Structure 1
Amino acid sequence: MRWFGFGFNAFGQIYVGGRVNDDDTANEVKVITPIELKGHVDGSCRTKISGLGASWSRRATLHSNGTRCLSGFNAASGICVTGFTDAVVGESFLILAFPDRIESWDLDNDRKTPVWSMEVKTPSDGTGTPPNLPLIPDGYIALKPPFYRPLSPHLKATRLALGAEHSVLLSASGTVYTWGLGSHGQLGHGGLLHEEQPRVVEALWGMTMSCVAAGGWHTVCVSDAGDMYVWGWNESGQLGLPSHIARKTEHHPTSQEIADLSSYKEKPEGEKDKEVFISIQAFPALLDVTPSCDIKMVGCGSRHTAAVTSAGDLYTWGWGQYGQLGYETPYSDEPRRVEFFREQQMRVVDVTCGTWNTFAAVVKEEVAAS
């Protein structure tokens, strides 16, 4: 499996120094065409990337030999540890999970020891290994103090996504809970109020969800059937719903699009529909990314969204000022396929979004013998 990145690169989160190809310059801020991430060099052996996390200015990668590599702002920190199983990176702290403990490292100084640690125990009731970060047994880990936040056992959390100011939890039964700041409708309860404790998203009751993601102020989840639901802030089109700012910058119609409109019968004056723009969607809305495929995986940046289909294609939409959509546009409120991976005969199998960038894991597409 290979990882590619694109988007904001001012701190070298995607690549550092040198020339990637003849058209690229060193430390380019805006990367539109996906670039393969370099694996960690261990002696004469280059280890493969097995996992990845990103924030605004940093990227943390896990490698097959159990080491980590921190890229971006202040990447040359004093952190030098091995043996951890998962990692989450923020702007100020790096969280590392070990089989027996959780550690938080301060990325803003060079101290050689963690600023906080906590012992954890693997469940002994036959439930297997503990959930991945930010979930831990009996709670979850935040990227700022207090690092440990307890969760009620009855929630039976299997996944947790942290937005800028809200949290999204997926339970073992496929139920979605949200809490935190709701000023942009990101909690999905129909209002803009704050929720202190996890509250079930009632609009999704009865539907089993398999994946959740949280952006800056928007939320996305995917059902077992491959349907995608979105809610929250849509200022940049990050929900894939009509956005005023995205429509202001949309492209001019092609000749084919004009021909397709020739059969449209205009309504009499007074009956024309006014175009409706959505800035806040406070309830979950069903988003049809592509009618031919189901959605398998989803990721959210600050104001953009990325989804992987069952066909192995990557679709992106929302704010694209730094190339985080994988194609040239400042805004898009319609999901659009990142053609690079299809052209390179690559199948996307996973996606992770930083605040202003996107990272995709791919495998080589198998071509059927003729």
Structure 2
Amino acid sequence: MRWFGFGFNAFGQICVQEKLDKGESSNEVKVTHPTELSSHVDRSGCCLEASQIRVSWSRRASLHLDGDSFVILAGFGAPISTEDCDISNLESHGCKDAFISETHLTLAFPDRIESWDLQKWEKSPSWCMDLKTQAESSDVNLPLVPGGYIALKPPFYRSLPGHLKARSLALGAEHAVLLTATGAVYTWGLGSHGQLGHGGLTSEEEPRAVEALWGMPMTCVTTGGWHSACISDGGDLYVWGWNESGQLGLPSRGLRKASQQNSRQQTGELCCDTSTPPAEELKEEEKHEEVFISIQAFPALLDVSPSCEIQTVSCGSRHTAAVTTTGDLYTWGWGEYGQLGHQTVTSLDEPQRVEFFRAEHMRVLDVVCGTWNTFAAAVKEEVACS
């Protein structure tokens, strides 16, 4: 399995491109083309591919689970040399899962949970919790930990009601989406952009069931900056929250206006008379105003690809990516840093397939969105001989 990244790369989260005389790296800020991540070479000379990727705004953590498991950091504060980029000084060897924020890296071991302060780089973790039983260890699915979860801000350990029986948890900028063992979805936190899915813009201090999804078991949940998404047991994708950049895949008025303005500037229409009087243009906009969605406060069914189901989904700050059961990757939303993978910096308010993987005869298996970038795992598909 090979991992590719595209989008925001100012700190070398995707690739370190060249070194300056003073030992500093010069990175291309925008990577618009899917670029394969460098493999880690161990002391025996073997190339080790990452099993999972965890990302924050300025960092990437690659989790290697084959053999002696460990974590490698890339991005802000990470060593420039790829020969010395594992965090052995943080004693990551033997970890089974990882969760990264801008300030802390949390590691799950068979017998304990550790959080390391990435701003201080101390020789011991800033927080630790022992796992007393094997059952507790098997229940860890970061940021979930036995009895609660690890938050992005202090206090890092937060408890959860025991009756929820959480299966997975996704943390957004200021809200959370939880999936229970029965497939129910609960949300809490800031609700100012409809990201909680309860039909309003109010916040919730405690987990509250998303009633619009009640009775439809879900298999996957994810959050972005101010939007959320989940996949049903049947492979349907539901989205809700803020749609300012088209991140819900629904018509965005601001995005369409910006696109029209750019198109006119490129064709020189702004410098000459248009065939349609301004008054009539305004009337046309008013006719279609109801189709534009700024905030979707209830979960909405999004038809990404009419021919197949959705396998997994991930949300960035203002963009979204989904993998179909046929192994295609679709992206949409804010594309200013190339995080949509279409070799442009154009934003989109409808899903579009990333053609790179199809052209390379690759099947996408997983996708992880960073705040302003995207990482996809793919394998080569065998091409039948004619």
TM-score by length of 2: 0.86
Q: Please state if 1:75 is matched with 2:78.
A: yes
Given that 1:95 and 1:143 are in contact with CA atoms closer than 8 Å, whether structure 2 keeps it comes out as no
Report the CA distance between 1:45 and its aligned residue. Answer: 1.7
Q: Which residue of structure 2 lines up, in the alignment, with residue 291 of structure 1? A: 306
Q: Which residue of structure 2 lines up, in the alignment, with residue 6 of structure 1? A: 6
Report the CA distance between 1:122 and its aligned residue. Answer: 4.2
What percentage of residue pairs aligned between the two structures are identical? 65
Partner Cα separation in structure 1 for residue 150 and residue 131 of structure 2: 12
Report the CA distance between 1:89 and its aligned residue. Answer: 1.0
The verdict on how the C-alpha distance between 1:298 and 1:147 changes in structure 2, with shifts beyond 3 A counting, is: same
- Give the partner amino acid of 1:66: S
Q: Which residue of structure 2 lines up, in the alignment, with residue 260 of structure 1? A: none
Q: Which residue of structure 2 lines up, in the alignment, with residue 280 of structure 1? A: 295
Q: Which residue of structure 2 lines up, in the alignment, with residue 243 of structure 1? A: 252
Aligned length: 348
Q: Which residue of structure 1 lines up, in the alignment, with residue 141 of structure 2? A: 132
SS at match of 1:308: strand
Given that 1:237 and 1:246 are in contact with CA atoms closer than 8 Å, whether structure 2 keeps it comes out as yes
- Give the partner amino acid of 1:117: C
The verdict on how the C-alpha distance between 1:179 and 1:34 changes in structure 2, with shifts beyond 3 A counting, is: same
Report the CA distance between 1:110 and its aligned residue. Answer: 2.6
Q: Which residue of structure 2 lines up, in the alignment, with residue 189 of structure 1? A: 198
Partner Cα separation in structure 2 for residue 7 and residue 151 of structure 1: 34
TM-align CA RMSD: 2.1
Which of 165, 169, 178 is the matching residue for 2:174? Answer: 165
Report the CA distance between 1:131 and its aligned residue. Answer: 3.6
- Give the partner amino acid of 2:223: A
Partner Cα separation in structure 2 for residue 92 and residue 67 of structure 1: 19
Partner Cα separation in structure 1 for residue 154 and residue 312 of structure 2: 30
SS at match of 2:254: helix
Report the CA distance between 1:140 and its aligned residue. Answer: 1.0
Q: Which residue of structure 2 lines up, in the alignment, with residue 115 of structure 1? A: 126
Output one character per residue of 1:134-183: Cα deviation in whole Å (capped at 9) or x when no partner.
11121111122111111112111111100000000001111000001101
Output one character per residue of 1:304-348: Cα deviation in whole Å (capped at 9) or x when no partner.
000000110000000000000001143110100000000000000
Which of 204, 213, 227 is the matching residue for 2:222? Answer: 213
Partner Cα separation in structure 2 for residue 184 and residue 122 of structure 1: 41
SS at match of 1:49: coil
Report the CA distance between 1:51 and its aligned residue. Answer: 0.9
Q: Please state if 1:66 is matched with 2:59.
A: no
Q: Please state if 1:314 is matched with 2:316.
A: no
Which of 96, 106, 118 is the matching residue for 1:95? Answer: 106
- Out of 228-237 and 105-114, give the one that drifted further: 105-114
Given that 1:316 and 1:337 are in contact with CA atoms closer than 8 Å, whether structure 2 keeps it comes out as yes
- Give the partner amino acid of 1:182: G
Partner Cα separation in structure 2 for residue 341 and residue 158 of structure 1: 31
Given that 1:298 and 1:308 are in contact with CA atoms closer than 8 Å, whether structure 2 keeps it comes out as yes
Given that 1:133 and 1:141 are in contact with CA atoms closer than 8 Å, whether structure 2 keeps it comes out as yes
5+ long unaligned stretches in structure 2: 20-24, 80-86, 265-282
Given that 1:222 and 1:295 are in contact with CA atoms closer than 8 Å, whether structure 2 keeps it comes out as yes
- Give the partner amino acid of 1:53: R
Report the CA distance between 1:223 and its aligned residue. Answer: 0.4
Partner Cα separation in structure 2 for residue 239 and residue 170 of structure 1: 20
Q: Which residue of structure 1 lines up, in the alignment, with residue 352 of structure 2? A: 336
Given that 1:88 and 1:134 are in contact with CA atoms closer than 8 Å, whether structure 2 keeps it comes out as yes
Report the CA distance between 1:119 and its aligned residue. Answer: 1.0
Report the CA distance between 1:369 and its aligned residue. Answer: 4.5
Given that 2:92 and 2:107 are in contact with CA atoms closer than 8 Å, whether structure 1 keeps it comes out as no
Q: Which residue of structure 1 lines up, in the alignment, with residue 31 of structure 2? A: 31
SS at match of 2:288: coil
Partner Cα separation in structure 2 for residue 128 and residue 104 of structure 1: 16
Partner Cα separation in structure 2 for residue 123 and residue 42 of structure 1: 30
Report the CA distance between 1:123 and its aligned residue. Answer: 5.3
Report the CA distance between 1:249 and its aligned residue. Answer: 3.7
The verdict on how the C-alpha distance between 1:122 and 1:290 changes in structure 2, with shifts beyond 3 A counting, is: farther
Q: Which residue of structure 2 lines up, in the alignment, with residue 349 of structure 1? A: 365
TM-score by length of 1: 0.89
5+ long unaligned stretches in structure 1: 20-24, 254-268
Given that 1:13 and 1:58 are in contact with CA atoms closer than 8 Å, whether structure 2 keeps it comes out as yes
Q: Which residue of structure 1 lines up, in the alignment, with residue 16 of structure 2? A: 16
Partner Cα separation in structure 2 for residue 292 and residue 85 of structure 1: 36
Q: Which residue of structure 1 lines up, in the alignment, with residue 56 of structure 2? A: 55
Bigger share in helix = 2
Given that 1:122 and 1:129 are in contact with CA atoms closer than 8 Å, whether structure 2 keeps it comes out as no
Partner Cα separation in structure 2 for residue 123 and residue 176 of structure 1: 27
Given that 2:55 and 2:101 are in contact with CA atoms closer than 8 Å, whether structure 1 keeps it comes out as yes
